[in-house]
Structure 1
Amino acid sequence: MPLCGVDDVAEGAAIGVEMELFGEHHAFIVTCADGRFHAYRNLCPHAGRRLDWAPGRFLLKDRVLVCAVHGASFRVESGLCIGGPCQGDHLLRVGVEVEGDAVMLTSL
């Protein structure tokens, strides 16, 4: 199932993707670092809140994604929390792979 197009996510950026799967709403974060795509559930492990500061808009600098609610900081390549209230926890990774010009969801 396609999450987004490869051109939708600029190098060093992150986007939000919302979709219905199996009758349930899901929100994802898709990032690109060194030409590789990473995807996570849009859910902070600290408080169970979304990370975006506005729908689909994220605080991101130097490959670190910051939760807009409590300031937890996550590496985009691994989802590891490197600062803030959930240090040592991870974002929930979802499997993705590139097929042609699409970033495809391969596992939840």
Structure 2
Amino acid sequence: MKFLCAGSELVEAGSRGFQLEGLKLFAVRRAGQAYVYANRCPHRGVPLEWQPEQFLDPSTSLIQCATHGALFLIESGECVAGPCAGQFLQAIDCREDSRGIWIDI
């Protein structure tokens, strides 16, 4: 397991981008749970954010690809609207303990 960040660095309904060992990743916190995905839209393979740390739609309830507006469920990474509907973001296994968020890459 690799250390990603301190738990306090990922606020509720917030998102953050990371680069770790050459991989572009992002993390989202919803209902106290951290979710980590590869920062790559399944539609065109482009990074999702339009500005640093901006991975969520305005309501902070869905992950949004800035390029074509695809929307993904935070809990599963499934695309529910847009050009890649039915496809999934690549989930990264993670766990959180008192020291922070850890990922399995």
- In the superposition, the TM-score normalised over structure 1's length comes to 0.89
After TM superposition, give the deviation of residue 100 of structure 1 in Å: 1.4
Q: How much has 1:91 moved relative to structure 2?
A: 0.3
Aligned residue in 2 for 1:15: 16
Unaligned 5+ runs, structure 1: none
Indicate the percent of aligned positions where both proteins have the same amino acid: 31
What displacement does 1:63 show? 1.8
AA at the equivalent of 1:69? T
Bigger RCO of structures 1 and 2 (CA < 8 A, at least 6 apart):
2
Residue equivalent to 1:31? 28
* Unmatched runs of 5 consecutive residues or more in structure 2: none
Separation in structure 2 between the aligned mates of residue 31 and residue 59 of structure 1, nearest angstrom? 8
**Structure 2 match to 1:93:** 91
Match of 1:5 in 2: 6
User: Cα RMSD between the aligned structures?
Assistant: 1.2
Rounded to whole Å, the distance in 2 between the matches of 1:67 and 1:84 is: 9
SS at match of 2:19: strand
1:83 partnered with 2:81: yes
- The answer (yes or no) to whether the contact 1:7–1:101 under 8 Å persists in 2 is no
TM-score of the superposed pair, with normalisation by structure 2: 0.91
Give how far 1:55 is off.
Answer: 3.3
Normalized per residue, the structure richer in strand is: 1
For residues 58 and 37 of structure 1, the distance between their equivalents in structure 2, rounded to whole angstroms, comes to 14
Structure 1 stretches of 4+ with a deviation exceeding 2 A read: 54-62
